[in-house]
Amino acid sequence: MIRSFGITQDGASVRAVTLGPADGLQADVLTFGGILRQLSVPGPKGRRNLVLGLPDVASYESDPAYLGCLVGRYGNRIGGARYTYQGRTVELVPNEGANQLHGGPRAYSRKVWRLQDYQGGPDSRLVLGLTSPDGDNGFPGTLEVTAEITVSGSELTLRFTAIGEADTPVSLTWHPYFNLAGDPQVAADRQMLRLRSRHFLPVGPGLIPTGVLEAVAGTAFDFRRPRLVTPRHNHPQIFQAGGYDHCFVLDGEEAGDEGPDWAATLSSPDSGVSLRLHTDQPSVQFYGGQGLASQYPTLGSGVCLEPQAFPDAPNQPAFPDAMLRAGERYSRWMRFSLNW
C-alpha cells in the first residue's frame, strides 16, 4: 500500500509504503530518507511496533537522531571532515564539530528518494533511488544509489547498490532504533544483545577511531554471549562515548545456529520478540541511544545496530578499504530475521 505522508519544506511530496501482510511482519518505509518508520508484528493486543518513529515529515526534517533513515554517502564519522587519496586532500562538509557524520548536512537521510518500483502482497518489494551529485557534501563524482527493501515471511532485507563516476568513499547503512518490547517506554537497555565480534574500535576525541583493534574479552564490550545492553561503567571507552557508540569488528566465517553471515542477535524478555541480523558488511556500529533522552524526552528509548564499513576508513590505512572506484559496482546487504 502506498499513501501520502505529507510535503517537505521544499514542497516535495513524501509517500509512505507498507510492505508485508496484515497478519504478519510489516514495515512502513518513507520515501523521505528511506526511513523505516514502523516495523511491526502481530500480538495479543494488536500490532506491536518494534522501532522508534516520528509523527510527520516536519519532525523528520529537523530530527537530530537519524531515526530510521538510510545513511550515506559515508555512514558514521570521517575525522576532520577530510581525507587524502592519491596525494590529493578532499575537503568534506563538517556537521559534527570538525568532523563529518553520516555523510554531512542534508545528506541521504534528508533527501526524498525516487520510488522506482513497488510490489505489494505477502512478499513485498520496494526499490528507492537517489542521485548524489558530484561535490555532494564534498564527495567527488556523481553516485547513483538504489535501496531495495523487501519483506518476506519473517524477514526484512535491505540491499544497497551504487555506481559512481569518480573514486569515492562509500559506506551505506540503515539507522533504525530498536525496542523489541513493543513499548518505547520500556527501557531499551532491558534487551539482550549478542555480537559475533572479538574486537571493537576504541575511539578518541570526537568519537573518531584511534586506528587500533581492541579485544573485547573480559571487558564491558564483550557481547559474544547474550547479555543486557546496559553499559558497564568499568571501561574508559564507556566514559569517552557516554555509553556504547562503537564499531564492532565482525569475526570471520563462523557458522552456527544463526548461519555463517550472522552478525548480531537482539531480544526482549518483556515481549519475547527477537531478531537476528545477517550482513556482508565487515562491522556493526552499536549505539545505545543515550542521546535520545535529551533529544526526545518523551519518545522512549531504542538501540541501533548499523552494518557498515569501518568508520574513518579513508584516513586509516590499516582499516579495510572503503573506496569505491569509478565505474565499479557497490553491493551490500543486511537482513533482519524476526521471531515473535
Tell whether 179 is in a known binding site: no
Angle 167-136-62 from CA coordinates, rounded to 5°: 140
Quick: pLDDT tens for 77-110: 999 999 999 999 999 999 999 999 999 999 999 9
Which residues constitute the domain of residue 163? 2-339
Please list the active-site residues.
175, 306
Amino acid in the structure at residue 138? G
Tell whether 227 is in a known binding site: no
Q: Which three cell numbers stand for residue 168?
A: 569515492
Tell whether 175 is in a known binding site: yes
Quick: pLDDT tens for 110-143: 999 999 999 998 999 999 999 999 999 999 999 9
The values of phi and psi at residue 299, to 5°, are -75, -30
Domain count, the chain: 1
Which segments of the chain have a pLDDT < 50? 255
Tell whether 176 is in a known binding site: yes
- Is the Cβ–Cβ distance between 103 and 72 less than 8 Å? yes
The CA–CA distances, whole Å, from 85 to 81, 91, 95, 235, 265 equal 13, 11, 21, 35, 37
Q: What is the DSSP letter of 206?
A: G
Q: What is the DSSP letter of 254?
A: -
| CATH number, domain with residue 208 | 2.70.98.10
**Rounded to an integer, what distance in angstroms lies between the CA atom of residue 94 and that of residue 278?**
31
Tell whether 102 is in a known binding site: no
Write out the DSSP string of 66-113: -TT-EE-SB-SEEGGGEEEETTEEEEPPP-BTTBEETTSTT-GGGSB-
- Closest to 136 measured CA to CA, from 156, 173, 158, 109: 109
Tell whether 233 is in a known binding site: no
pTM metric for this prediction: 0.95
